[in-house]
Amino acid sequence: MLLANPHLSSSSSSLLPSTRVSSPDPGPNHAKPIAASPASRRCLRIAATSAAAPAASVAEAAALSRVDVLSEALPFIQRFKGKTVVVKYGGAAMKSPELQSSVIRDLVLLSCVGLRPVLVHGGGPEINSWLLRVGVEPQFRNGLRVTDALTMEVVEMVLVGKVNKHLVSLINLAGGTAVGLCGKDARLLTARPSPNAAALGFVGEVSRVDATVLHPIIASGHIPVIATVAADESGQAYNINADTAAGEIAAAVGAEKLLLLTDVSGILADRNDPGSLVKEIDIAGVRQMVADGQVAGGMIPKVECCVRALAQGVHTASIIDGRVPHSLLLEILTDEGTGTMITG
């Protein structure tokens, strides 16, 4: 709440010590002050009111605009009230303090109006920074982090111990109630080695999800914040791709919607034309785009993650631009959205 700065009222001046300054009695050659007539005072008041009117009308218009936005959001709030939405958080929205604040406030707002958000996060830039601090040069193959034993140790410390708890604190400060977890907690995620384990090291895939620990947290109105580090059956830790983990968690909790925050606007009909955003597409259509080469590179695993989640019962999945402020609210609470929505 914004509080106006206090001002001294005209009556308060009587409480202050007064100093009387004597002035010479005006002689015949001195002009006497002319008192303002009632008509002139009225003109001054009218002029002041007229000057203030544009500012007041602008403020009123802004207030009405905000009320209109809230009113238009009502059907969407009613539709999603009590529904679980899983958000994968990473990329530019994680590196910029301004965008990070926007995402956190959006999550808390969604929680306050009755949605049940679950946040799944990565933390690539933070991991790279800490690897360099311990003298390890980050390495990648085909977009995946090469994760030897030392790198895995740093990944777990950074994702679970630093990034996760930082996000929990931000949500709590914004008025929400967050609970930090990783895949190891209550066997939420069980990992298995990736097919390229010989080249990638401890990069894993999700072999099983046990969402038992999440249900009471979500039902209580808390926001689970999940770091994607998991262990296999023998207890060996693995780094899991956050997109993949988010999709599997969304399916396990019966989410209404999966949202992947990325550094692109969504799926483009023409990869060289940023204006060719595909606003909505079904599974068959997106598979055809992959077959035709319209979807390629780093977008393929994101699309595959969405398709797999939809096949397991998630109603819709959206790939949205995390660089756009309040992209979560735009995608969930407006008709237009802000990215690509894939439907079953």
Range of the domain at 220: 134-255
pLDDT at 68 over 50: yes
The gap from C-alpha 118 to its chain's centroid, in whole angstroms, comes to 12
Question: What is the C-alpha to C-alpha distance for residues 95 and 123, in angstroms, rounded to an integer?
Answer: 9
Tell whether 196 is covered by a domain: yes
196 vs 20 pLDDT, higher one: 196
CATH number (domain holding residue 145)? 3.40.1160.10
pLDDT at 143 over 90: no
Tell whether 153 is covered by a domain: yes
pLDDT at 84 over 70: yes
Between 9-18, 62-71, 267-276, 323-332, the lowest mean confidence (pLDDT) is in 9-18
Question: What is the C-alpha to C-alpha distance for residues 324 and 301, in angstroms, rounded to an integer?
Answer: 22
pLDDT tens figures, 167-213 = 999 999 999 999 999 999 999 999 999 998 989 999 999 999 999 99
20 vs 249 pLDDT, higher one: 249
Widest Cα–Cα separation across the chain: 109
Tell whether 23 is covered by a domain: no
- The number of distinct structural domains making up the chain is 1
Tell whether 294 is covered by a domain: no
Q: What is the pLDDT of residue 141?
A: 82
Take residue 65 and report the two structure tokens written for it. Answer: 């605009």
Question: What is the C-alpha to C-alpha distance for residues 175 and 51, in angstroms, rounded to an integer?
Answer: 40
Q: Look over the chain and give the mean of its residue pLDDT values, rounded to a whole number.
A: 85
Reported as a pLDDT band with limits 50, 70 and 90, residue 82 is very high
Query: With contact defined as beta carbons under 8 Å apart, do 125 and 94 qualify?
Result: yes
Tell whether 100 is covered by a domain: no
Tell whether 245 is covered by a domain: yes
